[in-house]
């Protein structure tokens, strides 16, 4: 008798929870709002800088993935990216040579840095100026070429790929191109393209 009562109570509780979770208005009123209110009290407020960063830029087709009903035909209609003849030549020669100059084990476990020879090569061959226009001494490669070059370097040495990737993605060249004065562009971009100035950033 007692076991039957206990099982009945458990069944009622389970059914009650199931109804509460599956009926949207009840779930929102009794669970979701309270959970969100708790998180709002716990989480720090978003700063103006954080909001600007989140709202900056646009999304590509990948934004449709988050809408629940992506248009796959739209994705398939995009042209397949290709390397230009100049970019392909760079992949076949300069990138191949850069990979040959490094030993991942020595770089990451012994020297903790690229060799002076490797540094000199990537600077002299313009690896640090792939996104910089040719009029400033850069290579002016496409985003696709940038991606392919970094991918190839990564197969040989992670430190090598990151050393090339950071100046071309997180470095000041992009900011200078968009927001710099002509005097700033003329001074810094050629120096960045030749590796005279090497961008870096610190992580905590």
The 10s digit of each residue's pLDDT in 130-149 is 999 999 999 999 999 999 99
With 80 as the cut, is the pLDDT of residue 20 above it? no
- Token readout for 47 is 């700063």
Q: Which of 198, 121, 203 is nearest to 165 (CA)?
A: 198
Degrees to nearest 5, angle at CA 48 with 42 and 52: 115
Domains and CATH numbers, the chain: 2-46 (no CATH), 85-194 (1.10.540.10)
Rounded Cα gap, residues 33 and 63, in angstroms = 27
State the average pLDDT over residues 107-116: 94
Model confidence pLDDT, tens digit, residues 50-80: 888 888 778 888 888 888 889 999 999 999 9
């Amino acid at each position: 008798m007692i076991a039957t009562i206990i099982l009945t109570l458990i069944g009622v509780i389970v059914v009650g929870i199931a109804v509460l979770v599956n009926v949207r208005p009840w779930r929102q009123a009794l669970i979701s709002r309270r959970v969100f209110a708790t998180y709002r009290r716990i989480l720090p407020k978003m700063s103006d800088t954080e909001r600007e960063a989140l709202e900056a830029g646009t999304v590509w087709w990948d934004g449709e993935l988050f809408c629940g009903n992506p248009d796959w035909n739209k994705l398939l209609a995009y042209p397949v990216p290709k390397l230009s003849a100049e970019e392909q030549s760079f992949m076949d020669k300069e990138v191949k040579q850069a990979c040959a100059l490094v030993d991942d084990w020595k770089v990451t476990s012994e020297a903790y840095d690229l060799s002076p020879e490797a540094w000199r090569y990537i600077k002299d061959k313009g690896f640090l100026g792939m996104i910089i226009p040719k009029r400033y001494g850069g290579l002016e490669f496409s985003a696709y070429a940038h991606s392919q070059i970094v991918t190839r370097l990564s197969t040989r040495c992670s430190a090598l790929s990151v050393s090339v990737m950071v100046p071309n993605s997180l470095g000041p060249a992009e900011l200078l191109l968009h927001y710099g004065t002509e005097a700033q562009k003329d001074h810094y971009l050629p120096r960045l393209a030749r590796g005279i100035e090497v961008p870096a950033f610190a992580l905590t």
